[in-house]
A and B are shown apart, each in its own frame.
Chain A
Amino acid sequence: MRNPTLQLWFWLAVLVLLQTSPGISDLGIDLPLVFTALVAVRSRFLEALAWGAAAGLAQDLLSQSGPGPHVSACMAAAALAVLSQKLVFRERVSTQTALVAACMVLHQVWLWFVLRWTLDAPLTPVALDLILRSTLATSAVGALVSFFLVAFRRQRLDPPTA
């Protein structure tokens, strides 16, 4: 697959499939969100929103929620990632991890508000625990993915420093 868009579709499908494996969402890990943040920070605004919508829609369709909550939350996270492009140095693991953490907090708080409105979300103490746990778990995964992504890009774009 030489087409970068096709490659991204492939990775999104793989991550959504992994997300439905036992234990992943139980641990609070959100792989489609990691994908959204790391792709959006390297995309133009509309493109980033489209990737956010695709990742969110895949989650919504496979989830109990029905289309809507994850689409909007992922689009919000994608918008945050695009708007922070000038602040985030893309080739450093720490800044990318911080970006994933910020996107996850926004994503989770957004979802909590939407799901509280439909009475699907738990009350404050439980919800805060869930938000904290999922932010930590997803950021850890984001750090791991960023490490490999940065190493791979350096190898491809700047071999002498790799």
Chain B
Amino acid sequence: MLLLLLLVGSALMLRLSRRRVPGTSTAERGAQALWIPAGNLIHELLGLPEDLIRNLNEISRARQENERLLTEVSDLRRELSAQRLVEADNLRLRELLKLKIPRQSSARLGEVVSHDPSTWYATFLVNLGKDDGIETGSPVVTPQGVVGRVIEVFPGRSRVLLEEEPSSSVAVVDVRSRVRGIAVGTGKHRLKLRYVAAASDVESGDLLVTSGMGGVFPRGLPVGTVVKKGLSENGLNLDVDVAPAVDSGSSDFVYILQPQEGLH
């Protein structure tokens, strides 16, 4: 009897459970259609403060990260500029090393610190002076050739008169023809070769170097190249334009030699 009751009960429960498969009845489907979006909404609403806090944290972290990166970029930019300056200085100093100076030489490497503010003078100041053993009249050169000579010496500074200054003159010799003359500044990035007889053998493109005769510059330093020749007004001499070997306006470093010191 008991077994029979259990059997009937199980059969009934099985039948009932089959009939209660979710979503099968209209009422259940309606309830689910309402409940699912509402449940989602409630779930989202409950999660909102959490999301907000997480987003705020992320913004704050991103802001800190941004500030750190900006500082890093600024530091790197500064380092890059400094690096570029060092690189440029390095190149210029390498150029200067090409100048062959005797081991016993007391040539001093100086940096140009200031140019003459007047449009009428072609001079600049170098960061070497009396304390560094610089004397008035010392020749100033670069590996490209003659720049000028020291005309004033102060403590820690020297003034250099450039070769293109009208009051400057250098005794020169034509490397090809051995013709001698005086290169005089004309104040506009040009020199004139003076005291050369009309019949002298001077041609465009000739290299002029110091002759060592003036008592200031040693022999053999490039002064400039002949760019144009003609006859002077009186017809007795040549009128020769010379392009300086050194663009003294762009020289950052120069060598100051002892007066009459020889280069080999």
Contacts and interface: CB of A to CB of B under 8 A. Distances in A.
Interface of A: 16, 19-26, 28-30, 32, 58-59, 62-65, 70, 108, 111-112, 115, 119-123, 126, 129-130, 133-134
Given A20-B115, A24-B115, A111-B120, A126 B188 contact: yes
B115 A70 contact: no
Contacts of B187: 122, 126, 130
A64 B116 contact: yes
Nearest to A19: B117
B117 A32 contact: yes
B105 to A, nearest CB: 27
Interface in B173-214: 186-189
Contacts of B114: 20, 62
A127 to B, nearest CB: 8
Interface residues of B, number: 23
Contact of A121 (B112, B120, B151): B120
A121 B115 contact: no
A65 B161 CA distance: 12
B188 A119 contact: no
Contacts, number: 79
Nearest to B152: A64
Nearest to B187: A122
Contacts of B249: 22-23, 26
In this complex, the member of B120, B151, B152, B249 whose beta carbon has the largest number of chain A beta carbons within 10 angstroms is B120
A8 B188 CA distance: 33
B167 A63 contact: no
B159 interface: yes
Interface in B230-245: none
A108 B167 CA distance: 18
Contact of A120 (B119, B121, B186): B121
B120 A115 contact: yes
Contacts of A25: 115-119
A4 to B, nearest CB: 25
Contacts of B119: 25, 28-30, 108, 130, 134
B115 A21 contact: yes
B117 A64 contact: no
B24 interface: no
